[in-house]
């Protein structure tokens, strides 16, 4: 049942988009965006660059940086809401493009909580004894499903990918997890392909993200404050035992409110929102990777990862960092 994560990789597209870009297409300013979200820039995929491309490049970064053999991976999980196809899934695209011969492949559609769900599922496969080496990827090309006429949401999203390998281990470094969903708020953050109501309410089936920002903000803060406390308790830890909180980077104001509600200093919270925007399923691995690269996150640090988003759903897990800076 023991598992470890000792490698990580990320990829973001080459094209940076600063806040001034939006001044030319909607009624906004750099100051307005920065003040309300904390975002200064994000990255957009090229016209011919898609979610599967970002997945592959993030895994290649991991393999190169940590000298990882990919050939014996026996399961691939991709967390995304912006894959270029529903079928074949993104995990299957990763499998064939990276020549991984014998792997099960699934995609997880849990929005911004998807990467943590992926780790939880990977640990479960290892605990069941059916698998030994699981590749977990969070990847998004949200720029391709953004409504650029919606001034309150189009400024938020960016593209990127992050990947880890969850492996069977002699000792356990991935601990107890928590999952939570409130499906009654499904209409408050959705992406509809067909004109089918959500909880009896009509939708806009334009294949773009739609968000009720005020409702999601309130739900996120109250949920995270409670669930982070519950998760530490499940793991017989106190908040002061956690070296780094790594929540989904949706909005810097959400993270500040959560830290305030927990009485935890903001400088113990790793984020990717300022320089990458909201990259949904990719935001946690990007923040984790950059924390390691900057020297903040050290070997054996206690981490608490928690994602939250469309569903509305939440997933958290505590683990010990076994990834060294390379």
Specify whether 182 is located in the same domain as 76: no
Work out whether strand 244-247 and strand 302-309 pair parallel, antiparallel, or are unpaired.
parallel
C-alpha–C-alpha distance, residues 8 and 211, integer Å? 30
Of 151, 172, 193, the domain-final residue: 172
pTM strictly above 0.95: yes
Specify whether 11 is located in the same domain as 147: yes
Structural domain includes residue 326: no
Instruction: Using the predicted structure, report yes or no on whether residue 29 has a pLDDT greater than 90.
Output: yes
Specify whether 95 is located in the same domain as 208: no
**pLDDT of res. 207:** 87
Specify whether 188 is located in the same domain as 147: no
Question: What value does the mean pLDDT take over residues 67-96?
Answer: 96
C-alpha–C-alpha distance, residues 82 and 173, integer Å? 31
C-alpha–C-alpha distance, residues 269 and 266, integer Å? 5
C-alpha–C-alpha distance, residues 109 and 123, integer Å? 18
C-alpha–C-alpha distance, residues 172 and 319, integer Å? 9
Specify whether 268 is located in the same domain as 160: no
Instruction: Using the predicted structure, report yes or no on whether residue 156 has a pLDDT greater than 90.
Output: yes
Specify whether 302 is located in the same domain as 192: yes
Owning domain of residue 130: 2-172
C-alpha–C-alpha distance, residues 164 and 123, integer Å? 12
Specify whether 34 is located in the same domain as 70: yes
Instruction: Using the predicted structure, report yes or no on whether residue 300 has a pLDDT greater than 90.
Output: yes
Q: What is the DSSP letter of 145?
A: G
Sheet with 104-108: list strands edge to edge. 3-11, 159-168, 133-141, 75-79, 104-108
Dihedral pair phi/psi, residue 287, rounded to 5°: -65, -40
C-alpha–C-alpha distance, residues 48 and 222, integer Å? 39
Give the count of domains, the chain: 2
Q: How confident is the model at residue 1 (pLDDT cuts 50, 70, 90)?
A: confident
185-234, pLDDT tens digit by residue?
Answer: 989 898 888 999 999 999 999 888 888 889 999 999 999 999 999 999 99
**pLDDT of res. 266:** 96
Q: How confident is the model at residue 291 (pLDDT cuts 50, 70, 90)?
A: very high
C-alpha–C-alpha distance, residues 73 and 92, integer Å? 13
**pLDDT of res. 162:** 98
Enzyme catalytic residues: 112, 248, 278
Dihedral pair phi/psi, residue 255, rounded to 5°: -65, -40
Using CB atoms within 10 Å of the CB of residue 244, give its burial: 0 to 12 exposed, 13 to 18 middle, 19+ buried. buried
Specify whether 154 is located in the same domain as 181: no
């Amino acid at each position: 049942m023991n598992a470890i994560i000792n490698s990580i990789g990320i990829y973001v597209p080459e094209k940076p988009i600063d806040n001034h870009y939006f001044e030319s297409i909607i009624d906004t300013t750099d100051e307005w965006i920065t003040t309300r979200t904390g975002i200064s820039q994000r990255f957009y995929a090229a016209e011919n660059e898609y979610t599967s491309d970002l997945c592959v490049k993030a895994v290649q970064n991991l393999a190169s940086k940590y000298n990882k053999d990919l050939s014996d991976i026996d399961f691939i999980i991709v967390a995304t809401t912006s894959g270029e196809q529903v079928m074949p899934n993104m995990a299957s695209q990763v499998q064939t493009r990276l020549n991984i011969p014998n792997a099960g492949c699934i995609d997880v559609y849990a929005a911004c909580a998807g990467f943590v769900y992926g780790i939880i599922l990977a640990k479960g496969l290892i605990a069941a004894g059916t698998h030994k080496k699981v590749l977990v990827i969070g990847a998004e090309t949200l720029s391709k499903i953004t409504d650029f006429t919606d001034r309150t949401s189009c400024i938020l999203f960016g593209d990127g990918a992050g990947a880890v390998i969850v492996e069977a281990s002699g000792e356990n470094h991935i601990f107890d997890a928590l999952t939570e969903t409130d499906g009654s708020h499904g209409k408050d953050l959705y992406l509809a392909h067909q004109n089918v109501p959500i909880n009896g309410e009509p939708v806009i089936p334009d294949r773009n993200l739609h968000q009720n920002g005020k409702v999601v903000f309130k739900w996120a803060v109250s949920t995270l404050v409670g669930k982070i406390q519950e998760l530490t308790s499940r793991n017989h830890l106190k908040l002061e035992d956690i070296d780094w909180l790594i929540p989904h980077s949706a909005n810097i104001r959400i993270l500040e409110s959560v830290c305030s509600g927990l009485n935890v200093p903001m400088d113990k919270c790793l984020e990717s929102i300022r320089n990458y925007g909201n990259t949904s399923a990719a935001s946690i691995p990007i923040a984790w990777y950059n924390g390691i690269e900057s020297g903040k996150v050290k070997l054996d640090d206690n981490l608490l990862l928690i994602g939250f988003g469309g569903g509305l759903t939440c997933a958290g897990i505590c683990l010990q960092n076994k990834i060294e800076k390379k």
